[in-house]
Structure 1
Amino acid sequence: MKKFLLSILMGCSLLEAAAQTAFTVNHGPYLQEVTQDGATIVFTTSRKAFSWVELKQHDAPEAEAVKHFNSKDGLKEAWNTFSLVRVEHLKPGTSYDYRIISKEMRSFQPYKVVYGDSIATKWHTFSTIDPQKRGGSFFITSDMHFDAAKLEKLLHAADYRTCDAFFYAGDMTSYIDKFEIPFTSFIDTSVKLFASSVPFEVVRGNHETRGNLARTYSSYFPKKNGKIYGSCLLGDVMVVMLDSGEDKAENHWVYAGLNDYDAYRTEQAEWLKELMNTKEYKKAKYRIVISHFPMVMSQQWKDEKEWVGWEDAIRKFLPVLNKGNVDLLVSGHTHRYFFHEQNVDGNNFPVLEQGESSAVRLELHGGKVQFQVIGVDGKILMEKTISKK
């Protein structure tokens, strides 16, 4: 009898070990840089693999699915766990179905490749950007600092299912020293609720510049131009995303001489000038800016005379933004929700600091800019309608 029970226990242990090491897609898939004619699909596998994406128009038969690979210099990406596949030449305003196919690679020798298990995810659906779409409902939050549970509560409180776009305005983590941190902090929660079908955009905060893996942060959110700052045109809504860098002086002891954000902010200011001269920017009906730092600074922080990096961002970005007919800038960083009317501190547009236990639901409809700041419990903390310029 004891031998029988021991065999049962050993069998259960083996099954548990096998389950723990099963070959799976363990993060994602999540969408990035969805445009009128393309999308990037990002995911990871639990072991090294050769992976690709199958794509077809929504509700088309599986036989019409086309394989898409991440190929570079004539080689398909393989023997990796982090994967991204860009699909292009799509139709604007069109729905597509996709799934991940992955083959475990147990050995990759110069003249012999040994494959293991193969897996296929379920089909997911997304839509390319519709250039004819007017307005939209946006979710914006920041400063979660590893707290994925709080993020999930805020997404539900803001009725995420009825949002068209999602933006994370920085400090979703407190630092990055492990590969898993962006996933456990906010990516996995986003995938659980929406991100396999609707993309999210990330604006880097000053805390995401910290840690020995901070230099890998942009790789989780790949862009064709390789930058983490940028813009997207969602129908008639132009969203500008600025990377404001660190908040203290470059020579502050905590940075150990490793930062170069003053030059980086100068680079962005020049890019911003160019963006504002584009046809896409000029024709947009709504212009929203997202930056981790507010582009105004309350007197209490000015008096501290420590926030040299934040002041540098204001000095370089604000004069350009003031010429851009901006409707609203949404920021984080200060861990409070606070609204700055235009022209209170050299700003020609209103600025919203959205808080660290809240989220913004932004409504752009009928020529009106309206927002609610919503708490974790669903309570509306602030509500305003802004007159467009």
Structure 2
Amino acid sequence: MSSSFLGASAQSLFKVNHGPYLQEVTRDGATIVFTTSQKAFSWIELKEHGAVETEAVKHFSSKDGLKEAWNTFNAVRVEDLKPGTSYDYRVVSKEMRSFEPYKVVFGDSLATEWHTFSTVNPKKQGGTFFITSDMHFDAVKLEKLLHAAAYQTCDAFFYVGDMTSYIAEPEAPFTSFIDTSVKLFASSIPFEVVRGNHETRGNLARTYSSYFPKRDGKIYGSYLLGDVMIVMLDSGEDKAENHWVYAGLTDYDAYRTEQAEWLKKLVKTEAYKKAKYRIVLSHFPMVMGQEWKDEHAWYGWEDAIRKFLPVLNKAKVDLMVSGHTHRFFFHERNADGNAFPVLEQGADSAVRLELHDGKIWFKVVDVDGKVLLEMNIS
């Protein structure tokens, strides 16, 4: 990512140091996230693709009548856009060297290069998606998997949990996977994140969702990409609430119940019913093979299955992709109470999922590009 300085000295260190990256791109809006190296006042300039620079409109993040300022983390929502339309945007920022009640001193200013993205086209049919999980801080492995799955031809990207091992430093999500995503695609194509159980750990775990802002404030949700419905579930922690490791600070039983009630309503909506393809993403697979039941007692995982699986089994799900187990394994329909196929995509592999002409095809690849499984499940 490059930034051009407007009146900046050669010695200035003021820059956009993470991002910009796209989140929650819909048919009529998008959120652009970025950080600056020093506290600043920042905004987005946006125009339709190909329009002259003078037609760009400024978009600010504001709350209670005040524009966000004197901050380093920024999430700017732009709305009232046209469906299926390409837009150009750039970040503009003014360093703030002091912010007194009646005197503000600005420093250097910068503007990034222009980036292009497209809003969701409601008439789009199918798509090609990249899915992985369980990178556990390994950005190098993530980059290898993106290349192995030919990320350049993917329409959307999904990370299904445990991209980190815990959140104890503000930089952790950036260095683990966000920066790599920005380097390759995320300034122009969004990625969406499903939280894993490891991202609930660490003294900064409660900040995790702020890196991926949503208008409804929820981590879980659904996304309609043309005729593809993506359902993203947050399965929480894998042990019981009273397990010593949580120190009495978790409340996932109630959280999973909340999601189950939301899921019951979602599958009754016209948007869900009319979707041609229905893909569910969850860090915990909604299948627990006998080998896990014999060796482990995973209360949280079992609770997720108890609450989510009965709803999903009646919802005409085409495929679930999950992580957590660190193994690559494919569960056929009805293997263990599941009415839909479940793919555990593994910690050293990624999925390239293609939905076209009513057919569902996927390929699982490892870091060396070796194909572990190639299957048509339509």
Counterpart of 1:344 in structure 2 is 335
Partner of 2:263: 272
- Inter-CA distance 128–249: structure 2 relative to 1 (3 Å threshold): same
| Partner residue of 1:308 out of 288, 299, 307 | 299
Whether 1:76 and 2:67 are equivalent positions in the alignment is yes
Equivalent position of 2:53 in the other structure: 62
Q: 1:165 aligns with which of 141, 156, 159?
A: 156
Say which SS state the counterpart of residue 174 (structure 1) adopts: coil
| Compared CA separation, residues 305 and 79, structure 1 to 2 (3 A) | same
Query: Aligned equivalents of 2:173 and 2:277: distance in 1?
Result: 30
1:189 aligns to what?
A: 180
Q: Which residue of 2 aligns with 1:201?
A: 192
1:303-361 CA distances to partner (integer Å, 9 max, x unpaired)? 13420000000000000000110000000000111000011111100000000000000
Matches within 5 A, 1:222-301: 222-301=213-292
The one-letter code matched in structure 2 to 1:321 is L
Find the residue that maps to 1:195 and give its secondary structure: coil
1:44 shift after superposition: 0.1
Deviates more, 1:270-279 or 1:301-310: 301-310
Per residue, is there more helix in 1 or in 2? 1
Cα deviation for residue 267 of structure 1 reads 0.2
Q: Which ranges in structure 1 are unaligned for 5 or more consecutive residues?
A: 1-17
Give the alignment's TM-score, normalised by structure 2.
0.97
Which residue number corresponds to residue 367 of structure 2?
376
Partner of 1:138: 129
Structure 2, unaligned runs of 5 or more: 1-8
Amino acid at match of 1:250: E
Distance 1:343 1:89, change over 3 A: same
Q: Which of the numbers 66, 71, 76 marks the counterpart of 1:85?
A: 76
Q: Deviations over 1:100-121 (max 9, x none)?
A: 0000000000000000000000
1:95 maps onto 2:86 in alignment: yes
Shift of 1:21: 6.3
> Using the alignment, how far apart are the partners of 1:51 and 1:23 within structure 2?
12
Secondary structure in 1 matching 2:54? helix
Structure 1's consecutive aligned runs of 4 or more residues displaced over 4 angstroms after TM superposition are: 18-21
Structure 1, 300-309 or 118-127: larger mean CA deviation: 300-309
How far residue 383 of structure 1 moved from its aligned partner, in angstroms, is 1.0
2:40 is aligned, of 49, 69, 83, to 49
Question: What's the C-alpha RMSD, in Å, of the aligned pairs?
Answer: 1.0
C-alpha displacement of 1:301: 1.1
Whether 2:107 is the aligned partner of 1:116: answer: yes
Q: Which moved more, 1:134-143 or 1:300-309?
A: 300-309
Distance 1:303 1:270 in 2: 30
Note the alpha carbon deviations across 1:359-388, whole angstroms, 9 max, x for none. 00001011111101001000100111102x
1:40 and 2:31 are equivalent in the alignment:
yes
- Inter-partner Cα distance in structure 2 for 1:358 and 1:64: 44
Q: TM-score, normalised by structure 1?
A: 0.94
2: CA distance, partners of 1:186 / 1:384: 28
Question: Are the counterparts in 1 of residues 12 and 108 from structure 2 also a CA contact under 8 Å?
Answer: no
Supply the AA of the counterpart residue of 1:169. V
CA 1:356/1:114 → structure 2, altered by over 3 Å: closer, same or farther? same
Higher CA-based Rg: 1
User: Take 2:170 and 2:296, find their aligned partners in 1: how far apart are those partners?
Assistant: 35
* Alpha-carbon shift at residue 19 of structure 1 (Å): 7.9
The number of residues matched between the two structures is 370
Q: Secondary structure at the match of 1:293?
A: coil
Q: Give the secondary structure class of the aligned counterpart of 1:36.
A: coil
In the alignment, does 2:217 pair up with 1:216? no
> What is the match of residue 168 of structure 2?
177
Q: Secondary structure of 2:96's match?
A: strand
State how far apart, in whole Å, the 1-side matches of 2:286 and 2:40 are.
Answer: 45
Give yes or no for contact 2:280–2:317 (8 Å, CA) kept in 1.
yes
Q: CA 1:76/1:362 → structure 2, altered by over 3 Å: closer, same or farther?
A: same
Change (3 A) 1:98 1:360: same
Query: Which of 312, 320, 324 matches 2:311?
Result: 320
